[in-house]
Structure 1
Amino acid sequence: MKILHVLDHSLPLHSGYSFRTRALIEGQKRRGWTPVMMTTPRHRQGGPNPEHVDGLTFHRAPSPGPLPLLGEIRATRRKAAELIAAEKPDIVHCHSPVLTFLGARGAAQAAGLPIVYEIRAFWEDAAVGNGTGREGDFKFRLTKAMETSACRQADAVGAICNGLIDDLKRRGIAEDKLFTVPNAVDLTQFGTPEPRDEALAARLGFEGAEVIGFLGSFYDYEGLDELIAAMPSIRARRPAARLLLVGGGPMEAALKAQVDALGLSDCVTFTGRVPHADVPRYYSLVDILAYPRKPMRLTELVTPLKPLEAMAQEKLVVASDVGGHKELIEDGVTGTLFKAGNPQAAATAVSDLLAERESWPQRIQTAKRWVAEARNWDRTVANYAPVYERLIDRRRS
């Protein structure tokens, strides 16, 4: 079975999107399938075409020229048609946002191929989450209509979690063409945590500290301002507590200003972005990984990848009770949930867990066992098999 995957962007760019893609593609290869990968013009990092990264080959649609959206769609369609003619795939599989589908749809239809559309987040919600859109405005409604239309036209529609599937049902998408392909973790990459990096701990002044950490992008919806606001209460109960923020993003300057205004510079450490290879060193210092996401459509509907990685790394997880977290975390069993949007609730959850060190080993092992059994990539990739087979059988008949 050969599948043409149409992607927004890919490696060598580092993002949750590109890492998920790599895991899915490698899982498909282990099943004996033949994935072919292309990106739309939204992959703007220069490089060879095709580009070979980590044993995978990515074909690139060219720059769209002077008409951004229309040009992207046309460039994607031409590249998809070229690869369909050369590779003779059985399925065209588009991964959100909707521009991938709009570009590849015509090429797939011309070749008589079934087309799958897989949603990792709705484009309109992602725009609100990263600060480039507002919920309910014209752009939001237009984008939502485009996503809904794509789902109606696709032969099958996948989504990474139940929150998205439920929203699609409310939009009137036929239930019999919906399927889930949940986020997962590669335990060969995350399942063997590194020992505590004492040299790094000394450099950061973390000897004897109880470290609460966040590693990722600093978007407003992540709620890091509320985690910082919780630190005075946490410190009142746990004087050795320190907050480690690894990464960067649009909220970085505001977060640093908040730390200065609250007089927390002695207990909040910003590292900036670090090389991907060094991320495990910072993980090794953290006792509790915190995910204080704010309540909004994006966080209520979409499950993040980071808490799963934290569980695989044998780290305690504390998170807000938005819908995306509740799909991943069983409160008191695999992690701790607190009321979203409530810094005091976050402070209580973190402080209580720091005071219950005797419960840590059992919780850590329970969470890691759940990830290993229920959220591994081979299990996720297996969800494609009946969908692909049904669409190919329908085409043949």
Structure 2
Amino acid sequence: MRIMMTTVFDYPHTGGLSTHVATLKAGLEELGHEVDVVSFTDVPDAKKQVARGSSFLLNKVSKGKGIIAGHRVRQQLLEVLIKRKAEDKAYDIINAQDVYASLASFKSGVPVVSTVHGYLAFEAVSRGAVSSNSKEAKHMQELEREVYRQTRRPITVDQRIKDYIQELAGVEGERIYNFINVDQFQPQVERREELRASFGYDSDDVLLFIPRRMTRKNGVIFPAKALSLIHEKYPRVRLLYAGSGEEEQNIRDIARETGVEDHVHFLGNIPHETMKDYYAMSNATLIPSIHSEGVEEATSISALEGMGAGVPVVASGIGGLKELIDDGENGLLVEEQSPEAIRDAVFRIIEQPEEGEQMAKAARALIEENYSHHAAAEKFAKIYESVL
């Protein structure tokens, strides 16, 4: 099959959606399919400024208006690119990766399926882009409803999103849990000392890796709140944040106020291929997600990568995380928004290393069996074929 994947966001970029696209593309290509990605990155720079400028200016007038206007412009720009691409090559199907990309793709005449990674309206409220119950939030939800009813098949990355689509639009979606490239994210703990030396960390440091976009729903502020508690017993523990977002300044403020700023490292948006090295050199991966304005963590790709990379994962016991992790068997689940719970879990990882190794081995086995990109690509291909 010839498959086009579309998104109104940049590709590649740091984040789960981009990782999902890259990993699925690799899996489908291994099966012999031809896959192209059309994204906002492909838009000429001058036109990109129109989308960004309109969003900035209208947000000054009224909160929420800018984000809707900006995404509408992105949709229109993407629509032109998709039509042009579809005229140059006969695609069998388009797999749109977000609401606005779906709307842009419908105009191409090519059959469209839509992967649903989250909740457009609720997530905009959660990150403060629009106000709860506002006209803008209701408009976004109406767009969601329109897309889920019009697309040939909505594909969701967890059960709660599938239930949400059913409730919102009366449409039965197809659930395929998130997945990772199991060939790329493999255990390499034996390289820990080598990697630490190359990245400038000491062999006796305890490194906690937080590969999360710094937004409120990801709970990234709570490891920073926990670090001073952890230092009361283990002063060599360090936090490594990979990502960026609106919560970064709050994390910096807390680290400074509690005197741990020298042990909190902000890595920025590091290349995805480098992530596996940070997993390997770390003692644990932290996924401290929280409930936020109706948004709940799905099957976190970061959690899957940590489990695939052979290091213990400590995650909040919410959403898809509690479906993925069996507490004490293949990872640790902690109470959300609790620095004390994170502290206790870190103490357990430090003080019971053999248990941590066993949990990591069990996690890797689970990933290989149920969350590999090979199996996911086959499932997506079957959906494409059934639509056609």
**TM-score normalised by the chain length of structure 2:** 0.85
Q: Deviations over 1:126-168 (max 9, x none)?
A: 3234332333322222101111111011121111111211111
Q: Deviations over 1:152-187 (max 9, x none)?
A: 111211111112111112224332xx1123211112
How has the CA–CA distance of structure 1 residues 87 and 233 changed in structure 2, closer, same or farther, with 3 Å as cutoff? Answer: same
2:162 corresponds in structure 1 to: 165
CA positional deviation for 1:385: 3.2
CA positional deviation for 1:313: 1.2
Give the Cα–Cα distance (whole angstroms) in 2 for the partners of residues 224 and 68 of structure 1. 27
1:293 has 2:294 as partner: no
2:135 corresponds in structure 1 to: 138
How has the CA–CA distance of structure 1 residues 385 and 61 changed in structure 2, closer, same or farther, with 3 Å as cutoff? Answer: farther
Farther-moved stretch of structure 1 (320-329 vs 212-221): 212-221
Does the 8 A contact of 1:299 with 1:324 survive in 2?
no
RCO comparison, higher one (Cα < 8 Å, 6+) = 2
**TM-score normalised by the chain length of structure 1:** 0.83
Quick one: which of 313, 318, 323 aligns to 1:322?
318
Give the Cα–Cα distance (whole angstroms) in 1 for the partners of residues 26 and 236 of structure 2. 43
User: Within 5 Å, which residues of 2 pair with 1:238-387?
Assistant: 238-274=234-270, 276=272, 278-296=274-292, 299-387=295-383
Give the Cα–Cα distance (whole angstroms) in 2 for the partners of residues 3 and 257 of structure 1. 46
Quick one: which of 115, 118, 122 aligns to 1:125?
122
Q: Match of 1:190, SS?
A: coil
2:101 corresponds in structure 1 to: 100
CA positional deviation for 1:277: 5.2
2:64 corresponds in structure 1 to: none
Over the matched positions of the two proteins, sequence identity in percent amounts to 21
CA positional deviation for 1:25: 1.6
Does the 8 A contact of 1:180 with 1:383 survive in 2?
no
User: Which consecutive residues of structure 1, in runs of 5 or more, have no partner in the other structure?
Assistant: 48-59, 393-397
How has the CA–CA distance of structure 1 residues 352 and 152 changed in structure 2, closer, same or farther, with 3 Å as cutoff? Answer: same
Give the Cα–Cα distance (whole angstroms) in 2 for the partners of residues 138 and 43 of structure 1. 31
CA positional deviation for 1:356: 1.6
Give the Cα–Cα distance (whole angstroms) in 1 for the partners of residues 376 and 175 of structure 2. 8
Does the 8 A contact of 2:317 with 2:336 survive in 1?
yes
Does the 8 A contact of 2:2 with 2:33 survive in 1?
yes
Quick one: which of 179, 204, 208 aligns to 2:174?
179
User: Which consecutive residues of structure 2, in runs of 5 or more, have no partner in the other structure?
Assistant: 55-68
CA positional deviation for 1:198: 4.9
Q: Deviations over 1:333-372 (max 9, x none)?
A: 1111111122222222222232222212221111001111
Quick one: which of 229, 235, 239 aligns to 1:233?
229
Q: Deviations over 1:76-130 (max 9, x none)?
A: 333333333332222232111x11121121222xxxx432111112222332343
Q: Which amino acid aligns with 1:76?
A: L
Give the Cα–Cα distance (whole angstroms) in 1 for the partners of residues 356 and 275 of structure 2. 23
Q: Match of 2:211, SS?
A: strand
Q: Match of 2:155, SS?
A: strand
Q: Which amino acid aligns with 1:381?
A: A
How has the CA–CA distance of structure 1 residues 389 and 187 changed in structure 2, closer, same or farther, with 3 Å as cutoff? Answer: closer
Does the 8 A contact of 2:8 with 2:74 survive in 1?
no
CA positional deviation for 1:62: 11
Give the Cα–Cα distance (whole angstroms) in 1 for the partners of residues 261 and 4 of structure 2. 50
Q: Match of 2:328, SS?
A: coil
User: Within 5 Å, which residues of 2 pair with 1:178-197?
Assistant: 178-193=173-188, 195-197=191-193
Give the Cα–Cα distance (whole angstroms) in 2 for the partners of residues 338 and 139 of structure 1. 35
Quick one: which of 62, 73, 76 aligns to 1:74?
76
